[in-house]
Amino acid sequence: DADVTQTPRNRITKTGKRIMLECSQTKGHDRMYWYRQDPGLGLRLIYYSFDVKDINKGEISDGYSVSRQAQAKFSLSLESAIPNQTALYFCATSDPGTGTETQYFGPGTRLLVL
């Protein structure tokens, strides 16, 4: 969905490096999410934010941090990358005003930690 963009699309980094993945949305949604996807494990929630002042941990937040700089921007940081953080990372947004909680996903960032 072009309304949710993620940068970079691909990233290779080394163990111990700090990296940031960025997400921007033009949908005007208050809620934003970061997931990681690993083969056979589906989507696991890392962090979510229901508005600019609200940040919540998901199931697998250890080793990650986030920043909600504005309604439209939600960044995910790996403080000290490790190889088992190699995965596909997705950002998503939703609008609680619709009542359906439908989430809209970005195209993903493929991260390889060497």
* Chain contacts with other proteins (rule: CB under 8 A): 1, 4, 33, 40-43, 45, 48, 50, 90, 92, 94, 100-108
Strands 10-13 and 109-113: parallel
Q: What is the nearest approach in angstroms of other proteins to the Cβ of residue 67? A: 20
Of 8, 10, 36, 1, whose CA–CA distance to 22 is shortest? 8
Q: What is the nearest approach in angstroms of other proteins to the Cβ of residue 48? A: 7
Q: Of the two residues 85 and 94, which places its CB atom closer to other proteins in the complex? A: 94
Is the distance from CB of 92 to CB of 105 less than 8 angstroms? yes
Strands 54-57 and 73-78: unpaired
Q: Of the two residues 62 and 101, which places its CB atom closer to other proteins in the complex? A: 101
Q: Of the two residues 51 and 79, which places its CB atom closer to other proteins in the complex? A: 51
The Cα–Cα gap between 46 and 109 comes to 14
Q: What is the nearest approach in angstroms of other proteins to the Cβ of residue 60? A: 13
